[in-house]
Structure 1
């Protein structure tokens, strides 16, 4: 399973609908294997969806997430006019001590803890 971040460029003064995660997940086809969608409406640099995709490779997961998000832009009225900026698995730098270091929260500069 891959966590793919899909970054969006909204139309001016627009925000994600409250149920965007559910709408995007429901719009995925059975062959696309989107297991869950998390919403980061206030992410630095613009709104982001995190799509958990079962795929045979990282590239396949990124392509699937992009296709699902583009379909949502076309089918969800609140997303009309939005653009998909990128769809990619985020890279996390290793600390050099055998541990994976999380990114920092851009607002607080505190380490990001996903749990």
Structure 2
């Protein structure tokens, strides 16, 4: 299973998604889309993010299916007129793994010091 995030670009800066957007999108899921679940992050900054959990054989297939679903869904729902899908991709989890490696005490680039992906200092808990 892959989690694919899609940034939902606003048609205009003040545009807000309808309260039932997640339900509207869920109603369009077909078995051949291979989408198991979807979640909407309405308050993501600067734009909302749609998370799609897909059962596919590869990362490329998951991203392709997510792209196609979003294009079709946004093009067919009058409530989402003008919204568009952008940056359809699996989210990076690099900071999570860097924290695990740093906590292991391994004396390499993932040891104490800033995280390469963010530049922020490591603070062990």
Cα shift readout 1:35-93 (whole Å, capped 9, x = no counterpart): 11101111012111001111111111111111111111111112111121111100111
Equivalent pairs, count: 101
Shift of 1:98: 7.8
- Secondary structure of 1:62's aligned partner: helix
Q: Could you tell me which residue of structure 2 aligns to residue 80 of structure 1?
A: 81
Q: Cα gap change, 1:98/1:52 in structure 2, threshold over 3 Å: closer, same or farther? A: farther
- Secondary structure of 1:78's aligned partner: helix
Q: Name segments (4+ residues, structure 1) moved above 3 Å.
A: none
Q: Which protein is richer in helix relative to its size?
A: 2
Output aligned runs, 1:3-14, within 5 Å.
3-12=3-12, 13-14=14-15
RMSD: 2.1
Larger deviation, residues 27-36 vs 48-57: 27-36
Shift of 1:26: 2.1
TM-score, normalised via structure 2 length:
0.72
Alpha-carbon separation, structure 1, partners of 2:49 and 2:11: 14
Unaligned runs of 5+ in 1: 100-115
TM-score, normalised via structure 1 length:
0.78
Q: Could you tell me which residue of structure 2 aligns to residue 25 of structure 1?
A: 26
Alpha-carbon separation, structure 2, partners of 1:76 and 1:18: 14
Alpha-carbon separation, structure 2, partners of 1:97 and 1:35: 34
